[in-house]
Structure 1
Amino acid sequence: MSETSDLREAALAVREMAYVPYSRFKVGVAIRAASGTVYRGCNVENVAYPQGTCAEAGAIAAMVAAGETSIAEVYVVAASDRPVPCCGGCRQKLAEFAGGEVPVTLATVAGAEEATTIGALLPGAFDAGYMA
């Protein structure tokens, strides 16, 4: 079993739970917290589009609800011809809980994968240091 295979399995499983009656575009995310625990999230749409929730946000919320605040690894999967990156808002959400070196795997249901990092996805991230 590869290092990320448990994340892939978790992301694929939760992807099937996505509520996407409008776009039909299911996304699943699994994040490994610093403790090693895996948290999952799927996208949840709403007829008022801005009110939906991205899969990354759901996984982060589950992690925080469990009392954790540090991400060690991220896996994102969707049914697309090529790996789909996180939206801009989710890149910022991930950066809140993960350093720039944290690995991110973007994947397709068919098995294509692209390895990147939080820092590569969001160079120049806004952080608390700007609020001093």
Structure 2
Amino acid sequence: MDMEALYEMAKQKLNTRRTSRHGKIGHVAAALETAAGNIYTGVAMDLPSSIGFCAEHSAIAAMVTAGEQDIERIIAVYEDGSIMPPCGRCRELMNQVGENNYECEIGLPDRVMQLKDLLPERWDLKYL
């Protein structure tokens, strides 16, 4: 599957709404493809007291729950349809959840890059 198809899958999952305590959910959605060719999606939850998580985290959790860990490509979409680069926490999660994920493709607003280009100077190389 190409990045454009993943973009469309993520975009379909957008469903922005407010929570009862001034939180916002469903305003960012992510889709990822695994090395096995399976697709997982997820949405962000921005909640008070910093207890939410990113859309990428949600998609990765679905992947891990299904017994996979190797990401081939991933993309996140904001509620207005724009592509969002992954935050540092998401980049590190991708890196740590699967050994081959350092090579995965990340959809960015104007190009596709590998995680290794967005997360240089790995701190964990001495442990490999």
Q: TM-score, normalised by structure 2?
A: 0.79
- What does 1:26-37 correspond to in 2, within 5 Å? 26-37=27-38
Aligned residue type for 1:104? I
Q: How far apart in 2 are the matches of 1:117 and 1:3?
A: 14
User: Are the equivalent residues in 1 in contact too, given 2:25–2:45 (CA < 8 A)?
Assistant: no
Q: CA RMSD in A?
A: 2.7
User: Are the equivalent residues in 2 in contact too, given 1:15–1:42 (CA < 8 A)?
Assistant: yes
Q: How far apart in 1 are the matches of 2:26 and 2:123?
A: 29
Q: Say how many residue pairs are matched.
A: 124
Q: What's the CA shift for 1:99?
A: 3.2
Secondary structure of residue in 1 paired with 2:61 = helix
- Which residue of structure 2 aligns with residue 110 of structure 1? none
Secondary structure of residue in 1 paired with 2:84 = coil
Q: Relative to 1, partners in 2 of residues 1:32 and 1:81: Cα closer, same or farther, differing over 3 Å?
A: closer
- Which residue of structure 2 aligns with residue 118 of structure 1? 115
Identity of aligned residues (%): 28
Q: Relative to 1, partners in 2 of residues 1:58 and 1:82: Cα closer, same or farther, differing over 3 Å?
A: closer
Q: Is the deviation greater in 86-95 or in 16-25?
A: 16-25
- Unaligned runs of 5+ residues in structure 2 are none
- Which residue of structure 2 aligns with residue 89 of structure 1? 89
Q: What's the CA shift for 1:32?
A: 0.4
User: Are the equivalent residues in 1 in contact too, given 2:72–2:105 (CA < 8 A)?
Assistant: yes
Q: What's the CA shift for 1:19?
A: 6.0
Q: Deviations over 1:74-112 (max 9, x none)?
A: 1121246964321111110011224333211124xxxxx
Secondary structure of residue in 2 paired with 1:123 = coil
Q: Relative to 1, partners in 2 of residues 1:24 and 1:18: Cα closer, same or farther, differing over 3 Å?
A: closer
Q: What's the CA shift for 1:70?
A: 0.6
- Which residue of structure 1 aligns with residue 46 of structure 2? 45
Q: Relative to 1, partners in 2 of residues 1:101 and 1:15: Cα closer, same or farther, differing over 3 Å?
A: same
Q: Relative to 1, partners in 2 of residues 1:81 and 1:11: Cα closer, same or farther, differing over 3 Å?
A: closer
- Unaligned runs of 5+ residues in structure 1 are 108-112
